[in-house]
Structure 1
């Protein structure tokens, strides 16, 4: 809905999923990154406020914990809170990762309420009251026909319980998180009864969870958790969800990505009558840092508030912890060639191997599984691991294993592993004989949900439809893509017993993988980053190996976008059958993958755009 011309406007400005990325700096790579960071987002916020003086600023959660300050004594939470306070938020939600440091650390961060936290459905078990205020009322004044009228805005936040799957430090003995549909109607009614003319809700999840808020009668929704941009092309239109206009059941909704790469805005045009305020129209936009013209500068207040923690994090990231004799990168991970990811998987397998030594499971083959968390996608053309041979610093280690989850073993079968891999390769689009696929990967599937094995290989048949949806739910199609699976070079029966080495996050359902049910997990007591460090220090060999090969599809071609950093690895590109066809100025290069065997399918001429 486009706001009618001349009506008063309230602008909702939203950030989400900052993950402690306070500055436009990449600590793992030890270089500036002008496309991300709260410092840049704050510059956009200032622009948006200047354009619409009547506004509210909210954050959708997951602001505390991330890569930059994880190794610091307080994980940087004090600096995050004091830096966010410079922006003048009207309400801030809690996300699942804000509990990663435990309840005590979270409560320490919230001492003296540096930002106004609201928790609509996080309740204390001791007294049934909200962990923080369930909502907050703020007042703004708008002018209509020369007269000033007060507008009371109710701000609340909902944390869908499904996002807490795998949250190892969530204090379930002290807090309850009821489902959004269970509390939404009563919460909105309570806010209206308290005097709210408009109700704005933050929802730390995507459109599926936000539907309940739209049904409850909120006036606008700020989403998060999925790190996507809504409205935007990465979403499928469905009943009630319009990813072009940015609405859910007609209610304007925005998702502003992650890491300060973008800021969302919803302009609500309002009508005033004696009966009160009503929404006459809306306009939803996403403002990416990369798209700002002229480029947005970092906010001086944010830089000043984060100066000390920046210096500490930079010093910590520069510490040398290991050495490697080959480059490690993730440019071709989606095509089954990624030594960086296989190293992480192999380290996980070694941790499980040591945990079951001399036990009844010691003879089982162990397959490590890991995902290339940084492999392009919505994170942008620079969102890759790219480490030269030589020293590995602590920042590099964090790049390879950003979350440091505990490693667990899962008793499984070869059939279980096959289904697990089907979940991963569902991220690749189906390829029909004789067709050209414009982009091989489905942007709705994050690279963090693309587990690859260390010691298993297989053939991949992309002529078959994907067996899983982006959230891990079955698509309705049978799993037929993974063929000829071998473990350590051997074909085993589907019933053969094995062990999978995964993170606790995966075991608890993170990423929507088909975890075998009714098995007793093996807790190694080792975190993923420490397992990798031990593996590197031991100098365990890991020969180069293509994890999967594509089965031929007659007269078929798939295009694939990869960041320009891949140009330095032309040998690897050739090993997976890629031919670069286009270079562009936006940081991405286009490659062609010929899946057919027809000799006339020659490489096209390299073009520029």
Structure 2
């Protein structure tokens, strides 16, 4: 099955007896409410539901028959969300994300995996104030009863091309990755069970048809994936479009941008990226069919066009426009202002200082201070606990860390860049953006090698001897899946094929890029050796498809978040941070072959690092994808 690009034209042509129905969708807002970056304490006019609201209202004004949906991962992801859950705001205060969604008149929503990160009590209290229904087809209580409604029908009166009113029934169901119990808040698996997305959605689609739905929309908190995804797969939007018997698929989860139709059946798939940067827009033309026996009218989908318009990055004076947008809701305006002000005050809490810049422009090219600080903080937090365990104390203690903001799907501005000087809580949050808990695994040498092979799949294959620079980084590979492991030393041979694709599907199980793998002492790491490695709860549960299926055991879990551990580590330091960056990995030489390293333009502000890594500006200095381009010889 294939996808075809389907861009919305200026207007959809609907006949006098046809109905033009517009569906709008948001996804992966991740608590980005206002156009503000709490990590850098700067305005960011290209993000946030409040900015996206202007696009929503404009799109609604164009078409009278419009529905608005949200696709999950709405309640977690910024310091605003952390401030709400920590009860720094008054206890019982409504969740401002839900309040703004109420004001915008959302028609329905589903949940994403990160909506469970703060526990069921927080999730349910947040949803209690929602004035729109939330559906999830593949979530049940352990006793088998549904966690939330699995489906619903929205009965709406809509106008046809001649202005005549008709009752149309829009069926809606939703789903999220079944892996959520492993990834999310500890104890969730004792309360809820999650089943395969395709089978759950297919069953609800059939039920919606039987209940009289004219069209069926699935809010799938799931990436596009492939048409033949295996059972219980994480990303199955394309498979849903092909097999589930639905008319529209709203995708999400992977933060990608997609606006396309399945070539074989025309089912539209829309995925509007993340953080409120884009709006999903699906224009449908419905044609009536009258049953000659009963005289009843049903509506059939005739054509579909999809698009993902972006928020316009406007000048600073749009602040007054946002105030005007909220002006009809004075209580809401006050609620949002209080939440924003409280969050800003919280993230400015002083922690310590750093003697070195902390940036991720080069984190996928060489070991860096950012991942070293994270790895050191995690190791320091568990070391006393390991020492108190006679069964563990004699094993080597390693630590894994990944750069959360280092380009990739996040784009050319998605980097950490903290200058030397004072460190505040927002900086710790920038180093570690998710509320994962600490975990310690006991692993075999073979399992550790497999882990590194998956991380090394971030690199494109480089052919030695080519006389022009070859792009090194596969930007479809999310950098948060690129773990470096401190306490080990290894080389990466990028002349060999990667073992997996960007999403983690095994493309070549025999591929081997990791060379000369040994402990920091120089002792070779054998497949039969054992070591302890500090990681996070998401990774320990298989998140990112990093860990192998065997050769590991979880031996310790701390419910304290990694972010808090980092904040405590900075606060407890006797002086400014000055991490000794371990030379964990380097590239195997390729006989003078040139590679093209693409990163954020802020890299130019670190000339000493560019020189140390042997990077020279490429020509042209900007790659076609917008990243700054540098040459290096391997």
Per the normalisation by structure 2, the TM-score is: 0.85
Structure 2 CA distance, aligned partners of 1:81 and 1:147?
34
Q: Which residue of 2 aligns with 1:289?
A: 311
2:564 pairs with 530, 539, 562, which one?
530
Contact 2:26 2:70 in 1 (8 A): yes
Shift of 1:182: 2.6
Q: Which deviates the most, 201-210 or 289-298?
A: 289-298
Q: Which residue of 1 aligns with 2:230?
A: none
Structure 1 CA distance, aligned partners of 2:25 and 2:630?
38
Contact 2:14 2:161 in 1 (8 A): no
Q: Find out whether 1:306 has 2:336 as its counterpart.
A: yes
Contact 2:38 2:347 in 1 (8 A): yes
Q: Which residue of 2 aligns with 1:32?
A: 43
Q: Which residue of 1 aligns with 2:630?
A: 592
Shift of 1:62: 0.8
Contact 1:466 1:477 in 2 (8 A): no
Structure 2 CA distance, aligned partners of 1:72 and 1:146?
48
Q: Find out whether 1:439 has 2:471 as its counterpart.
A: yes
Shift of 1:249: 5.5
1:397 pairs with 428, 435, 460, which one?
428
Cα RMSD (Å):
2.8
Q: Which residue of 2 aligns with 1:15?
A: 26
Q: Which deviates the most, 98-107 or 244-253?
A: 244-253
Shift of 1:169: 4.1
1:50-108 CA-partner distances (Å, limit 9, x unpaired): 33332111111010112222442535762221122121111111111111111111111
Shift of 1:434: 3.3
Which runs of no fewer than 5 residues in structure 2 stay unpaired?
Answer: 1-5, 226-235, 292-297, 327-331
Q: Cα 1:95–1:273, aligned 2, differ >3 Å: closer, same or farther?
A: same
Q: Find out whether 1:189 has 2:206 as its counterpart.
A: yes
Structure 1 CA distance, aligned partners of 2:378 and 2:243?
44
1:74 pairs with 85, 99, 107, which one?
85
Contact 1:79 1:309 in 2 (8 A): yes
SS at match of 1:542: coil
Shift of 1:145: 4.7
Structure-to-structure mapping, 1:508-547, within 5 angstroms:
508-515=541-548, 516-517=550-551, 519-536=553-570, 537-539=572-574, 542-547=579-584
Which runs of no fewer than 5 residues in structure 1 stay unpaired?
Answer: 232-243, 597-609
Structure 1 CA distance, aligned partners of 2:315 and 2:290?
42
Contact 1:204 1:224 in 2 (8 A): yes
Per the normalisation by structure 1, the TM-score is: 0.89
SS at match of 2:476: coil
Give the count of matched residue pairs. 584
Contact 1:404 1:527 in 2 (8 A): yes
Structure 2 CA distance, aligned partners of 1:467 and 1:296?
47
Shift of 1:501: 0.8
Structure-to-structure mapping, 1:4-403, within 5 angstroms:
5-7=13-15, 8-75=19-86, 78-126=95-143, 128-132=145-149, 134-145=151-162, 147-169=164-186, 171-208=188-225, 209-210=236-237, 211-212=239-240, 214-231=242-259, 245=261, 250-275=266-291, 276-289=298-311, 299-300=322-323, 301=325, 304=333, 305-358=335-388, 359-403=390-434
Q: Find out whether 1:473 has 2:505 as its counterpart.
A: yes
Q: Which residue of 2 aligns with 1:493?
A: 525
SS at match of 1:490: coil
Q: Which deviates the most, 439-448 or 420-429?
A: 439-448
SS at match of 1:72: helix
